């Protein structure tokens, strides 16, 4: 049993959160009057806050539904992302691909997954003609059941998830995993020859790096706790990811009890880095709260991530930190939810997901900005 204080904290967290895929939030959006209205040389930059000095010419890409985890193609011309939009019949996350629009032009996109089951965590492979993503469609055409809300705020680790390679038209070319465990959260190295992904096949939630050429695989993490959401550094030499590390007997029991039911509680996560082979692990943050969705700055010397460490609840904003944990800087200043920051391959642009400008709905949309160092 959890102590009353922790139960109340979990209940507050549950009432605050409603995330896309594994991570969409329910919250009231800020009003446009709180956003910066500034004439720029290219457009009316009305979607960013005055303090958001690293962003310029912020452009909203999607309008309605849950849209997130947008990842760039190698040539920087396209985005692959997951989307739930019940009004158009997309009842749980599916994978879509769209080309980057010119300023003030509409962002158009097409379905790139089967449209069956539930998908997550898509990423382009080298050459941009194929993508990798996880899906439950082999087990069932329908969306899998959501976690029992009476358990608090938890994520489902669907064992039906397998990892697939598909072309941009949605044709599955290869199945990379085939087991009864959770296999998902795959991302590609900048060189395109390796992927890192999360699996429960060891009995815990660990990271693995798979060489796509040789099919040799190494396990990156081995400590008790959730390790996931990993990305390679720009030169492919390092990894960054989010972790939970239960320590007390009570925390360990709670973690293991949830894991036995293919669940994990993401309310306490910090960021780690290591070499790409898992050596030289370093804990980057010790901020408290949920620190997640990390991505390397183009220099490879900093990490951009989402965090609620200031309040422990809402808002979630983007922060940047040096690899040794120093130099913490707040990047976005929304009063709701900003996450999933991804730099373009040339480092000139940033795409992220946010609840800003959603008219007070539950919609999470994708935004594109020029990055200013």
- At residue 11, the pLDDT reads 41
Topology, domain 4-371? Neuraminidase (2.120.10)
**Prediction pTM value:** 0.90
350 DSSP β-pair partners = 343, 369
Q: Can you tell me the distance from the alpha carbon of 205 to that of 183, in angstroms, rounded to the nearest whole number?
A: 10
Residues in the chain: 373
237-278 per-position pLDDT tens digit? 999 999 999 999 999 999 999 999 999 999 999 999 999 999
Token duo for residue 271: 């960021």
Question: CB of 151 within 8 A of CB of 258?
Answer: yes
Q: What is the 3-state secondary structure (H, E, C) of the chain?
A: CCCHHHHHHHHHHHHHCCCECCECCCCCCCCHHHCCCCECCCCECCCCCCCCCCEEEEEECCCCCEEEEEEECCCCCEEEEEEEEHHHCEEEEEEEEEECCCCCCCCCEEECCCCCCCEEEEEECCCCCEEEEEECCCCCCCCCCCCCHHHCCCEECCCCCEEEEEECCCCEEEECCCCCCCEEEEEECCCCCEEEEEECCCCCCEEEEEECCCCCEEECCCCCCCEEEEEECCCCCEEEEEECCCCCHHHHHHHHHHHHCCEECCCCEEEEEEECCCCCCEECCCCCCEEEEEEECCCCCEEEEEECCCCCCCCEEEEEEECCCCCCEECCCCCCEEEEEEECCCCCEEEEEECCCCCCCCCEEEEEEEECC
Q: Can you tell me the distance from the alpha carbon of 333 to that of 74, in angstroms, rounded to the nearest whole number?
A: 29
Q: How far is CA 132 from CA 162, 197, 226, 321, in A?
A: 11, 11, 22, 29
Q: How far is CA 85 from CA 21, 68, 95, 340, in A?
A: 12, 12, 12, 19
Least Cα distance to 82 among 342, 360, 357 occurs for 342
The stretches in the chain having pLDDT less than 70 are 1-44
- In the block, residue with structure tokens 């306490």: 268
Of all residues in the chain, the percent with pLDDT exceeding 90 is 86
Token duo for residue 296: 């390397």
63: Cβ contacts below 8 Å, ≥ 6 apart = 363, 365
Question: CB of 239 within 8 A of CB of 273?
Answer: yes
Q: Can you tell me the distance from the alpha carbon of 355 to that of 308, in angstroms, rounded to the nearest whole number?
A: 15
Q: What are phi and psi of 341, to 5 degrees?
A: -75, 130
Estimate to the nearest angstrom the gap between the alpha carbon of 298 and the chain centroid.
18
Question: CB of 185 within 8 A of CB of 229?
Answer: yes
- At residue 44, the pLDDT reads 63
Q: Can you tell me the distance from the alpha carbon of 192 to that of 294, in angstroms, rounded to the nearest whole number?
A: 19
- At residue 2, the pLDDT reads 39
Q: Can you tell me the distance from the alpha carbon of 362 to that of 320, in angstroms, rounded to the nearest whole number?
A: 26
- At residue 45, the pLDDT reads 87
- At residue 274, the pLDDT reads 98
- At residue 104, the pLDDT reads 80
Q: What are phi and psi of 344, to 5 degrees?
A: -65, 160
């Amino acid at each position: 049993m959890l102590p009353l204080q922790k139960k109340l904290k979990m209940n507050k967290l549950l009432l605050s959160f409603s995330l896309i895929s594994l991570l969409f939030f329910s919250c009231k959006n800020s009003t446009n009057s709180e956003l910066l209205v500034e004439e720029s040389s290219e457009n009316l930059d009305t979607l960013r806050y005055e303090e958001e000095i690293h962003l310029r010419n912020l452009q909203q890409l999607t309008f309605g539904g849950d849209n997130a985890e947008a990842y760039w193609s190698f040539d920087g011309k396209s985005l692959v992302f997951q989307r739930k939009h019940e009004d158009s019949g997309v009842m749980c996350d599916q994978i879509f691909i769209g080309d980057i629009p010119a300023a003030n032009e509409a962002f158009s996109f097409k379905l790139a997954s089967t449209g069956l089951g539930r998908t997550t965590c898509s990423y382009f492979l080298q050459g941009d003609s194929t993508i990798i993503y996880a899906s439950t469609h082999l087990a069932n055409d329908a969306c899998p059941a959501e976690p029992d809300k009476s358990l608090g705020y938890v994520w489902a680790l669907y064992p039906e998830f397998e990892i697939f390679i598909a072309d941009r038209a949605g044709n599955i070319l290869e199945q990379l995993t085939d087991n009864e465990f959770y296999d998902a959260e795959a991302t590609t190295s900048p060189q395109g020859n390796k992927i890192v992904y999360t699996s429960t096949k060891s009995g815990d939630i660990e990271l693995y790096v798979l060489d796509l050429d040789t099919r040799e695989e190494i396990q990156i993490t081995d400590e008790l706790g959730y390790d996931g959401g990993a990305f390679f550094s720009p030169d492919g030499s390092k990894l960054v990811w989010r972790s939970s590390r239960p320590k007390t007997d009570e925390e360990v029991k709670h973690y293991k009890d949830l894991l036995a039911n293919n669940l994990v509680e993401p309310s306490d996560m910090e960021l780690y880095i290591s070499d790409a082979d898992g050596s030289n692990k370093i804990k980057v943050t010790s901020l408290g709260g949920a620190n997640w969705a990390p991505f390397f700055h183009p220099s490879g010397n900093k990490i951009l991530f989402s965090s609620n460490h200031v309040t422990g609840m809402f808002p979630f904003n983007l922060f940047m930190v040096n690899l040794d944990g120093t130099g913490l800087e707040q990047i976005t200043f929304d009063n709701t939810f900003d996450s999933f920051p991804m730099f373009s391959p040339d480092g000139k642009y940033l795409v992220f997901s946010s609840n800003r400008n959603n008219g007070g709905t539950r919609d999470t949309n994708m935004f594109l900005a020029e990055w200013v160092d």
